[in-house]
A = this chain, B = another copy of it.
Amino acid sequence: MSGRREEILDAAVAIADERGVDAVSMRALADRVGVTPMALYRHVKDKAALLDGMVGRLLTALLPADPAEEHTWDERLRALAHAARKVTQQHPWAAHLLFSRPAVTPDGLRAVDIIYTALIEAGVPEPQVPRLERLISTFVIGFAASEASGRFTPGAEDPRGRRGRPDDGELPGHRALGPWLDLPLDLTAEFEADLADITRLVEAVARYEE
């Protein structure tokens, strides 16, 4: 289970955690595992395949030991969503890589399958299940990627672009919301509320055709 390839991928993950994905070069990785850059090509086809392999390692860590442990379908869905968010909080560089490639690895298929079975159990008509799986995974990965890249928290350390800000007269929505926009974000609570809304969405689809 922990062959040379896994060793190399884990070293790459460690570099990304410490100094960012951009610091993961074949040369730096080779240095870390104590070998010449070219020796890596024996275990990894490509730089792209290396990045794929790295997210693969995280996916393995993300999966629940026993999916049937949680009792209801929405508990299992929420557990998977929270696990995904936790992974991207620990490895922010990985968030947007999750969008780049179909989940055709064994662990990716297992994650999709957890969502499939949850939706079936929820009573979603079978032809609608794959669509709702994509809707849910898209939102969860999107939330994780947004949080990890700072899309949700402007101004934090990034006051660029403020100069040309349109007058509030041009932004009636912003003006109307006034004070609500200056509240500090609690992204954990927000994620929870979002998942609750999506659970209701699933229930609505299940009801619709039953």
**A contact residues vs B (CB 8 Å cutoff):** 49, 52, 95-96, 99-106, 108-110, 112-117, 120, 126-127, 129-131, 134-135, 138-139, 141-143, 145-146, 149-155, 158, 160-162, 164-166, 170-174, 176-177, 180-181, 183, 190, 193-194, 197-198, 200-201, 204-205
A197: chain B residues within 8 A (beta carbon): 135, 201, 204-205
Contact yes or no, B149 A101, CB < 8 A: yes
Q: Whole-angstrom distance between the alpha carbons of A117 and B193 in the complex?
A: 21
A174: chain B residues within 8 A (beta carbon): 109, 112-113, 116
Contact yes or no, A104 B155, CB < 8 A: yes
The count of identical subunits is 2
Q: Whole-angstrom distance between the alpha carbons of A120 and B151 in the complex?
A: 22
- List the 4 closest pairs (A to B, CB-CB), nearest first: A116-B173, A142-B142, A102-B154, A117-B173
Given A173-B112, A173-B120, A164:B105 Cβ within 8 A: yes
